[in-house]
Structure 1
Amino acid sequence: MAIFINRPKNNWHEYLNFSQDTNMNQVNIEMNKRLSFLGINDKTLQHISDAAEIISPYLTEIVDTFYETITSYEELQQLIHEHSTVERLKQTMMTYLEQFLRAEINHDYIKSRQMIGKVHSNIHLTSQHFTAAYQLIVQMMTTIIMEKMYHRSEKMMQMVLAIQKLAAFDVQLIVEVYTQATVKQFLFGISDLLNYTTQLDTSRELINSMNKQKEETYSVTAATEEMTASIQEVAHHAVTVSEGTDDAVQSAVRSKRVINESLEGIQQVGKVYEQVVNRVSKLDQEIEHTKNVVHVVREIAEQTNLLALNASIEAARAGEHGRGFAVVASEVRKLSEHTKEQITQITSNMESLLEVSHAVNQEIKETEKMVNQSVVGAKTAGDELEKIVEAIQGISHEISQIAAMSEEQTAAIQEITDRNTVISELSDKSQTIASETAKTILDLSKKMEANRRSFFNKNIEFEHKDIIESAITDHLLWKWRIYNMLIGIEDLKAEQVGSHEACNLGRWYYGDLPEQIKSKPAYKALETPHIAVHNCARKAAECYVRGDVLEAQQAFERLQDASQEVVTLLKQLKEQV
């Protein structure tokens, strides 16, 4: 079928409009420039309005055909299922086409196209799918125009070009916002990673923990060495005591043997003393018998003396005849007197002997009693000594056990020392790994920051919310650099800490901002903590460079407080603009 029945009157280039006479009051200067570059003016929009009369009856068919086509692709069908429904999207597409065909370019028109770009970016619709799908819409509209207007080729060319121009403007708006939104997603995704990374304050704790662990292993090593020395000393004393107790046991055994021998001797003495007591008792009996005999002799002597006296008396009576008898009687009486004297002396001696015998007998009995007590005491001492021997032998055994256990403990302590040495070596490795990990995280954050910075060099329009979000990340990064400086992996000088006016946040804060932002309480409260952050960062860097780590740490803690306040105010301001 011939498309053109009548040949167009104009050459192809005459249908193109390169004039810069676009001046639509309802859009800004930048949008007028874009429209002018695409050759869109009031005539173009009038051609769109004329085309609308032809296309409008087919809108439902266009929308149905469009979604029938794209849902035949599994990935697009899955995307629709995850984020919306076909019926809902058909209504949205119908609204879009109606607005397109009205050809009224104003603020709402532009915003609606920009919103499409944001939505497509959020649902991660690829550019190739969007371009193909949008071209399908353009193709269907232009095909309808060519089918219905083929007999009026000049008017058809004007309508087709107008549709293509306005479609190109829509694509430009959609793709621009899509690109910016996608780039911002990457940008703020990196910013979120950086924000999270800057909150990884475990590196310092890990390094400090490794240092403390290393110190503890040294302390444990010293303690185990002291313990080993103590155990060895205990073992030495235990061996010495054990040897001493062995000697004591031998001495006690010998003492027990001596005591047993002494006990036998004392028991023998007791028997001898018993015999002596018996003999002394017999002596007493003999003395008593002798005493009785002496008593009889005394009586005889007294009787003899009495007879001699009578004989003398009778001899005196006899006179001369009794003189010889008187002599005999006199001698007898003398003998009797002498016998009596001797008997008296004997009696006295016998009594003295008896007293001595009694005294000896008493002393022997006392001695026997003492001997018996000594025997009992010696026997008790022997029993107690035997218990002492048993106790000393038990002590000797226990001390031998202590000595053996001390050797085992020494071996155990040595094993602990060996393992502690391994732990110390592992701590050294862990400390190195911790430092390297912290350095790796820092290097990674720098690479992410460099990547993030590269997005700012692109032709992307940032809103105030975007700038505030970026300022939060910038702020946390400075705190992160000071943090890594304090753990010794970041080289930072005080002069590298810029002023609060020269940083990104400062340039935005003191820049040409609308009154609706400057009037916010969060904006007004932001300046003081922001200045404090820069002052504390500079102070921390100065103190660290001159070796005053404690003062640098204190300055960093003040920086953290001020930084937290800045971030909180920025988040509040972001919600308010």
Structure 2
Amino acid sequence: MVSVRVINVINLSSETWRELIDYYGLNDYDLKTLYDNMDFFEKYADEIVHEFYDEVMKRGHLKGIINENSTVERLKKTQVWYLKTLATDVIDDDYIAGREKVGAVHAKIGLSATWYIGGYSIYLRCIRKRLSHSDPHVSFSIYEAVTKRILFDSAIILEQYIGDVMSKNEAYIKHMTNASNELIQSVDQVTAIASDFANSATVLAEAQGAVVESASTLYDKSTAIDAMSKLVIEIAAQTHMLGLNASIEATRAGDRGQGFTVIANEIRKLAERTKKSSEEINTSVSELVKYINSINQQAEQTMATSEQQAASAQELSALIHGIEDIATRLKQ
């Protein structure tokens, strides 16, 4: 055993860490005890680390994390260094920062705090096994001091784990809030567009309904005109027949019927012109009726499509409102 000077070995600027180290009962005397027995850690560090990894590699998920991120040989060197640092005689801000860095690295590779702290239990068992051959009083002092120090180290590591998780949660919440705000803005824009579309579709459907009604009225009027033109044709035919009969009777009357013959001929000519015009009107009206029928069918189809668009627009609007509600609840 080597005795050294007594100095102020605990020197922390953080009031929180000073209170915590006092709460754990770790003091200058404990650090001096460990420092005075540095040869113990120098002697058994490799052996303890070897036994430690024999136990760790039995756990499949721990083995997977190690193989994915490093090698056992590289980690053994780091752990040998760590065991030897348990005998250092100073705990200061740099010491805290070093332990925090270790915690951040292990959190980053996905090793949970529970399994990491469980590793300290293995170290304590290995250390106690090797202290059992030493002087009981000295062994107890070393084991008590190293237990306090390991527990304090685990507190630093655990604090880093919690801080890392909280930082990630805050970043995640901020990201989700921003995404929710963007989603709400987008939904508002889509809602406005859908509302305009619904209104336009409704107006279009109403307009198409008016077109169908007008086309139907026009069809009825055209049908009436067609009936009237047919009636005129019949009257013209009868008039022509009357003119023909009158001409025959005028011929029989001789000189006394010559004037009546002229009138009868004019009646016949007028009847023929009326018949011809009526036939042309009838032909035009028939074609007009066909066009009206076609327009009416197209208008009905368009109206049906417009009504369907209006209904779809209303459904879309309702769906968007549902999404907006979800986005608002997500933000909350």
After TM superposition, the score normalised by the length of structure 1 is 0.46
1:32-82 CA deviation, whole Å, 9 max, x = no partner? 333333333333222212333123233223223222321221121222234
Match in the other structure for 1:88: 74
The match for 2:156 is 173
Amino acid at match of 1:434: I
Q: How does 1:428-577 map to 2 (within 5 A)?
A: 430-446=316-332
- The corresponding residue for 2:49 is 63
Change (3 A) 1:255 1:96: farther
Look up the SS of the partner of 1:102 in the other structure: coil
Residue 190, structure 1, aligned to residue 190, structure 2:
no
For residues 43-122 of structure 1, the aligned pairs below 5 Å read 43-122=29-108
Alignment of 1:210-289 (within 5 A): 210-247=194-231, 250=234
Identity of aligned residues (%): 18
What is the CA deviation profile of residues 404-463 of structure 1, one whole-angstrom value per residue up to 9, with x for unaligned ones? Answer: 33553464355346535644xx61x544553454344323322xxxxxxxxxxxxxxxxx
Name which of 155, 160, 168 aligns with 2:138: 155
8 Å CA contact retained: 1:117, 1:175: yes
CA-CA distance at 1:236 after TM superposition:
2.5
Mapped to 2, the partners of 1:255 and 1:69 lie a distance apart of 125
The answer for the alignment partner of 1:486 in structure 2 is none
Corresponding residue of 2:12: 27
- Cα deviation, 1:10-53, whole Å, max 9, x if unaligned, reads xxxxxxxxxxx995464225233333333333332222123331
Alignment CA distance shift 1:242-1:38 (3 Å): same
**8 Å Cα contact 1:48-1:162 kept in structure 2:** yes
The one-character-per-residue Cα deviations of 1:157-195 (angstroms, maximum 9, x if unpaired) are 111111111111111111112122222222322222112
Q: Give 2:320's aligned amino acid.
A: A
Q: CA RMSD in A?
A: 3.6
Listed as ranges, the gaps of 5+ residues in structure 1 are: 1-20, 269-377, 447-577
Q: Is the CA contact (8 Å cut-off) linking 2:233 and 2:274 kept in structure 1?
A: no
**Cα distance in 1 for residues equivalent to 2:106 and 2:275:** 104
Q: Which amino acid aligns with 1:415?
A: A
Indicate the structure (1 or 2) with the bigger Cα radius of gyration: 1
Amino acid across the alignment from 1:441: A
> 1:129 matched to which residue of 2?
115
Kept in 1, the 8 Å contact 2:226–2:285? The answer is: yes
Report if the CA contact (8 A) 2:232-2:275 is conserved.
Answer: no
Deviates most, 202-211 or 155-164 = 202-211
- Aligned partners of 1:82, 1:257: CA distance in 2, in Å? 113
Q: Is the 8 A contact 2:180 2:330 kept in 1?
A: no
Matched residue of 1:89: which SS?
helix
Name the residue aligned to 1:140.
126
Matches of 2:208 and 2:242, distance apart in 1: 49
Quote the Cα distance in structure 1 between the aligned partners of 2:305 and 2:24: 83
CA distance in 2, matches of 1:413, 1:222: 11
Distance 2:296 2:179 in 1: 55
Q: Which amino acid aligns with 1:93?
A: Q
Kept after mapping to 2: 8 A contact 1:238/1:400: yes
Structure 2 CA distance for partners of 1:107 and 1:410, relative to 1, 3 Å: closer
Q: Distance in 1 between matches of 2:306 and 2:27?
A: 90
1:113 is displaced (CA, Å) by: 0.6
Tell me by how many angstroms 1:219 deviates: 1.0
- The aligned counterpart of 1:398 is 287
1:101–1:235 distance in 2 versus 1, CA, 3 Å: same
In 2, the alpha carbon distance for the partners of 1:32 and 1:22 equals: 17
Please state how far the C-alpha of 1:391 moved relative to its aligned partner. Answer: 5.4
Cα deviation 1:446-505 (Å, max 9, x = unaligned):
2xxxxxxxxxxxxxxxxxxxxxxxxxxxxxxxxxxxxxxxxxxxxxxxxxxxxxxxxxxx
Partner of 1:539: none
1:205 is aligned with what amino acid?
A: Q
* CA offset digits 1:314-362 (Å, max 9, x no partner): xxxxxxxxxxxxxxxxxxxxxxxxxxxxxxxxxxxxxxxxxxxxxxxxx
Name the CA distance, whole Å, in 2 between partners of 1:434 and 1:392.
56
Deviation, 1:196, is 1.7
Does residue 1 of structure 2 align to residue 42 of structure 1? no
Q: TM-score, normalised by structure 2?
A: 0.75
User: Are the structure 2 counterparts of residues 229 and 238 from structure 1 closer, same or farther at C-alpha, using a change threshold of 3 Å?
Assistant: same
Contact persistence 1:114–1:177 (CA under 8 A):
yes
Distance 1:401 1:164 in 2: 103
- What is the distance in 2 between the residues matched to 1:36 and 1:417? 79
Q: With CA pairs under 8 Å and 6+ residues apart, which has the higher RCO, 1 or 2?
A: 2
Name stretches of at least 5 consecutive residues in structure 2 with no aligned partner. 1-5, 252-268
Hey, what's the Cα distance between the residues in 2 that align with 1:256 and 1:77?
A: 116
Aligned runs of 1:263-412 on 2, under 5 Å?
Answer: 394-409=283-298, 411-412=300-301
2:308 is matched with which residue: 419, 434, 445? Answer: 419
Once residues 257 and 82 of structure 1 are traced to their aligned partners in structure 2, the CA distance between those partners, rounded to angstroms, is 113
Equivalent position of 1:204 in the other structure: 188
Which amino acid in the other structure matches residue 175 of structure 2?
A: D
SS in 1 for 2:63: helix
Q: Displacement of 1:114 after TM fit? A: 0.8
Opposite residue 399 of structure 1, the aligned amino acid is L
CA gap of 1:159–1:236, structure 2 versus 1, over 3 A, is same
User: Is the Cα–Cα contact under 8 Å of residues 26 and 106 in structure 1 kept in the other structure?
Assistant: yes
Q: 1:89 to 1:244 in 2, by over 3 A?
A: farther
2:10 touches 2:27 (CA, 8 Å); kept in 1? no
**Equivalent AA in structure 2 for residue 443 of structure 1:** R
CA deviations over 1:366-396 (Å, ceiling 9, x no partner): xxxxxxxxxxxx9xxx9x9999787556434
